[in-house]
Amino acid sequence: MAKPNILVVDDDPSLAMTIVMSLEAEGYPVTETGSAEGAIQILAEGSFPIVISDIYMGEKTGLDVLHRAKALNPDGAVILMSGKGSIETVMEATRGGAFEYLAKPFSIDRLMQAVRGAEAALRESHARAPKEYEPESAMVGHSAPMVELYKFIAKVAPTDTTVLVRGETGCGKEMVAQLLHRGSLRAKARFVVVDCAALHQGSLLESELFGAVKGAYTGADRDRVGLFEAAAGGTVFLDEIGEIDPGFQLRLLRFLQEKEIRPVGSTVTRKVDVRVIAATNKDLEKLTREGTFREDLWYRMGAAAIELPPLRQRREDIPLLVERFISEFTASSGRPMHVSDSAMKLLVEYSWPGNVRQLRSFIERLVILASLNVIDAAAVRAGLPAESPLAAAPAAAPRAPESLSDAEDEHIKRVLAACNGNKTKASEILGIERKTLYRKLERMGL
């Protein structure tokens, strides 16, 4: 991400110049103005993710700049400075969503620290931007395992306990982490997602989470605020925790115990107040037995662990989810859409290896493709990958690599067995003509 544009607003030319020069030395593109009116004008013309403004400058104040900047860009960061801070101005600044409030005089270092914090916050909100999180998007499902889950969330959310959310891909782990955050006293602070799989190389993850000081590694041309610090007061969600390497597991364990960070290359440790929620679709007990996941870390995180049931184990929730997704995907068009009974039956019977996410994107596709106001069985059947009658059977032991024709022979044999040797039925399931099946059986010597 390129350095964000910064707007500096101060009627004191010498202070403004010091700030501008320090920012430019760090590589930020800076625009400067001496009045709130000027700032409001400039904000209307360009994009300034970070605004640094004095408060008392004339008729209009830095608080007006704050309100305008936030109205134009709610995710932007406004840093206010004032020599006459009062409880009223601080309160108004806080209510208006100011990122930081600096009492004059302050050191330039202090300001730079605030700017870096703001930049880390922007990077974070930027990274999350494509995902949509509406607070009203509550979890859907009335099945017994879901009710157990709601009870767990209600009990554990208000605490500061580290939580481990387990479950297959797409079954709602991140959603649960969100709910745990929103149900806590930290709800107003940030929820920061860290994809450990994408950063699984220990050193990357370390500087991402703990921060790094300038010069700590090649390319570290300035201090970098870690996500644990950027999320102070809030929650950090460590997704795919099973992917982190053993060296980093130890650092993470220490962090969970002490809640202290030491940026890469620094000798100073600092306390931070964050709650950690982790998620994995891996079998951590197994990884622990195999020695790739530290047992002590597993104990530490497993204290409050919740296992999300796969969708196929709570099929009674499928109609509810289908209705929810239909209304979600028809909301913009306003076109009502109905699912026929036989189509719903197919949806309920399918095994959904990709769980709720797969169901959701499948419904999205059906809604887009539907030419009428009804989703019928034919549409569902056409869209779902075929499941052989045996697909639901327990997974066989991993097989050695085999050629396509071997796999085909195997599959034909299994389908034939499942149909008690009825070749007409088998050819239907296989989607081939009966005579083709005969030919293949002949080749196989059957």
Ligand X SMILES: Nc1ncnc2c1ncn2[C@@H]1O[C@H](COP(=O)(O)OP(=O)(O)OP(=O)(O)O)[C@@H](O)[C@H]1O
- Footprint of Mg ion (CB under 5 A): 174
140 or 377: CB nearest ligand X? 140
What number of other Cβ atoms are within 10 A of residue 96's Cβ? 18
Nearest residue to 124 via CA among 79, 75, 173, 196: 75
Indicate which single residue of 70, 116, 173, 186 sits in contact with ligand X (rule: CB under 6 A): 173
SS3 breakdown of the chain: % helix, strand, coil, rounded to 5? 50, 15, 40
Least distance to ligand X from the beta carbon of 194, Å?
Answer: 12
Stretch that binds ligand X, among 104-112, 134-142, 298-306, 375-383 (CB under 6 A): 134-142
Measured CA to CA, the distance from residue 241 to residue 314 in angstroms comes to 26
Provide the minimum distance between the beta carbon of 325 and ligand X in the complex, in angstroms, as a whole number: 8
Contact status: 422 vs ligand X (CB under 6 A) = no
Indicate whether 356 belongs to the interface with ligand X (CB under 6 A): yes
Assigned token pair, 109: 């270092």
* 275-280 sheet: strands from edge to edge: 191-195, 235-239, 275-280, 163-166, 305-307
CB within 8 Å of 401: residues ≥ 6 apart: none
Q: Which residue from 33, 29, 35, 36 is spatially nearest to 50, judged by alpha carbons?
A: 29
- Contact range with ligand X by CB under 6 A, out of 168-176, 265-273, 282-290, 424-432: 168-176
203 or 281: CB nearest ligand X: 281
Q: Closer to ligand X at the Cβ: 186 or 360?
A: 360
Q: Which residues contact 324 (CB under 8 A, 6 or more apart)?
A: 140
By CB neighbour count within 10 A (0-12 exposed, 13-18 middle, 19+ buried), where does 163 fall? buried
Q: Which does 357 bind (CB under 5 to 8 A by kind): Mg ion, ligand X, none?
A: ligand X
* Alpha-carbon gap, residue 330 to 60, rounded angstroms: 46
- Determine which residue in the list 4, 96, 117, 170 makes contact with ligand X, applying CB under 6 A: 170
Structure tokens at 79: 């840093």
Q: Which does 226 bind (CB under 5 to 8 A by kind): ligand X, Mg ion, none?
A: none
Closest distance between Mg ion and the C-beta of residue 278, in Å? 11
DSSP helix/strand/coil, 59:
coil
Binding of residue 305 to ligand X (CB under 6 A): no
Given the rule CB under 6 A, which of 15-23, 85-93, 169-177, 422-430 is the region that contacts ligand X? 169-177
Tell me if 263 contacts ligand X by CB under 6 A: no
What is the number of the residue whose Cβ is closest to ligand X? 172
Rule CB under 6 A: say whether 141 interacts with ligand X. Answer: yes
* Nearest distance from C-beta of residue 173 to ligand X, angstroms: 3
Of all residues in this chain, which one has the CB nearest to Mg ion in the complex?
A: 174
Among 49, 96, 172, 310, binds ligand X (CB under 6 A): 172
Restricted to residues 265-304, the positions that interact with ligand X (CB under 6 A) are: 281
Query: Segment contacting ligand X (CB under 6 A): 28-36, 43-51, 167-175, 365-373?
Result: 167-175
Tell me the torsion sign for CA atoms 403, 404, 410, 414. Answer: positive
> Measured from the CB of residue 243, what is the shortest distance to Mg ion in angstroms?
12
Residue 432 within binding range of ligand X, rule CB under 6 A: no
Nearer to Mg ion, 212 or 231 (CB): 231
Q: How many CB atoms lie within 10 A of CB 326?
A: 20
Segment near ligand X (CB under 6 A), from 356-364, 381-389, 412-420, 426-434? 356-364
Number of other residues whose CB lies within 10 A of the CB of residue 221:
10
Q: Which of 237, 149, 153, 157 is nearest to 190 (CA)?
A: 237
Decide which of Mg ion, ligand X, none touches 172; Cβ closer than 5 to 8 Å per partner kind. Answer: ligand X
Helix (H) or strand (E) holding 367: helix 355-369
Residues contributing to the site for ligand X (CB under 6 A): 139-141, 167, 169-175, 281, 321, 356-357, 360
